[in-house]
Chains A and B, each alone.
Chain A
């Protein structure tokens, strides 16, 4: 039971820290939101290549895989695994293969949302 609670707390902390970094970037830099998101994906991929991000995932679980850095992690990990299996071509195919479900889900549910809902301005 204690182990379960710790998992949630770690996920909360790790996810929160990653998102706080995003908030600081929005508030204190001139980076546009799109650039910040791209930065997150590429950082995730690079940190995975350096072996660092896996450690963060081990501690934070979903708190590390859900934020966009986790998507970079997924791409990088998939590329490595496919290279191990299929040689250098895997560098091209592995990333997208690993992220296939996520990408398709994003397109599919994004489409449904845009058809079902009407955009409204924020207040």
Chain B
């Protein structure tokens, strides 16, 4: 077994890559939420001057990519890989958004876990000596997601109270083998977990087992315990999923509730904003990470964070065929300094 593997699903970085810069652009609803001061840019309306939601989403990714580079002091020529994905069929937001980037492109699909998936691959490429600088970026858009997974907005259909609100936005990071942190120290790659839940209006409940599986595996593989982390954050389990995740982990002997939060619950004010069960989408975890969490790590409010983005690997077709919802969660361990290594 290679000397970088830790246990079943975890890789320990020999030379932890640094997260050199991060950036995110979000939509107006996110811009009215509790994290509004942490986002780089808030667009005025969901079309952003484009002719379709899909084009607007591509623009979000394109502009965020540019911001990530600018804040990291790099030119596109210096980037070895961009690893990107989104929710749209064939990941067109990424394909068209990064069409002119001139950077070697690896498209990935992890649904809402894309941010953690792309960071996992990026970190491994750098630690493996295959790259110096990698950009990991993802996007989602409420209108394009509704059109694809549920109904187009023009139909004016009503959304049930358990549904989640897809975050409109894009978030990205620049990883490099040159830098002074925050560092990516461990990557735990999730397996697909399906508990047979078919209710697309209870994605949180469907994804919680995947989050539990990955978090448990991470602790077992690394020998770390929950109190190593100041924050364990999942992508978009929402209210119901978060409770399930906490409960199951506790029954397995891991009490995380003091340090556990969920990006879907952080990005919106559920009482004031009509988002039903909370936020979701690739940009949910990406924007909260790129905007808020990394900011808190940089200024020392947080030292060690376990970022666990969760994804529901379904499609409109599988739902129509009566299939359940297979889910996945990827964990990325982020540390401000390398002194307190596990």
Where the two chains meet, the residues of A that have a C-beta atom closer than 8 Å to any C-beta of B are 26-27, 30, 32-34, 114, 118-123
Contacts and interface: CB of A to CB of B under 8 A. Distances in A.
B59 interface: no
Contacts of B45: 120-121
A121 B47 CA distance: 9
B255 to A, nearest CB: 33
B154 A121 contact: no
Contact of A121 (B157, B168, B199): B168
A122 B168 CA distance: 12
B160 A27 contact: yes
Contacts, number: 35
A123 B28 contact: yes
Nearest to A122: B153
Contacts of A32: 150
A107 to B, nearest CB: 14
A101 B194 CA distance: 49
B46 interface: yes
Interface of B: 27-29, 45-47, 142-143, 150-154, 157-158, 160-161, 168, 199, 201, 274
A119 B29 contact: no
Contact of B157 (A27, A33, A118): A33
A1 to B, nearest CB: 36
B143 A119 contact: yes
A114 B157 contact: no
B274 A121 contact: no
Nearest to A121: B46
Given A33-B157, A34-B157, A123 B274 contact: yes
A116 to B, nearest CB: 12
A64 B151 CA distance: 26
Contacts of A122: 153, 274
Max chain B C-beta neighbours (<10 A), residue from A26, A27, A122, A123: A122
If over half of A's interface residues share one DSSP class (helix, strand or loop), that class is named, otherwise mixed; here it is: loop
Nearest to B157: A33
Nearest to A110: B154
Contacts of B201: 30
A119 to B, nearest CB: 5
Counting from the closest, the 3 A-B pairs by CB-CB distance are A33-B157, A121-B46, A119-B153
Contacts of A114: 154
A30 B47 contact: no
A33 B154 contact: no
A32 B198 CA distance: 13
Contacts of B152: 119
B168 A34 contact: no
Given A34-B151, A123-B29, 8 more contacts: A26-B158, A27-B160, A27-B161, A32-B150, A33-B158, A119-B143, A119-B153, A120-B47
Contacts of A27: 160-161
Nearest to A28: B160
B213 to A, nearest CB: 25
A120 B27 CA distance: 12
Contact of B160 (A26, A118, A119, A120): A26
Contacts of B46: 120-121
Contacts of B154: 114, 119
Contacts of A119: 143, 152-154
28 contacts: A26-B160, A27-B160, A27-B161, A30-B199, A30-B201, A32-B150, A33-B151, A33-B157, A33-B158, A34-B151, A114-B154, A118-B47, A119-B143, A119-B152, A119-B154, A120-B45, A120-B46, A120-B153, A121-B27, A121-B29, A121-B142, A121-B143, A121-B168, A122-B153, A122-B274, A123-B28, A123-B29, A123-B274
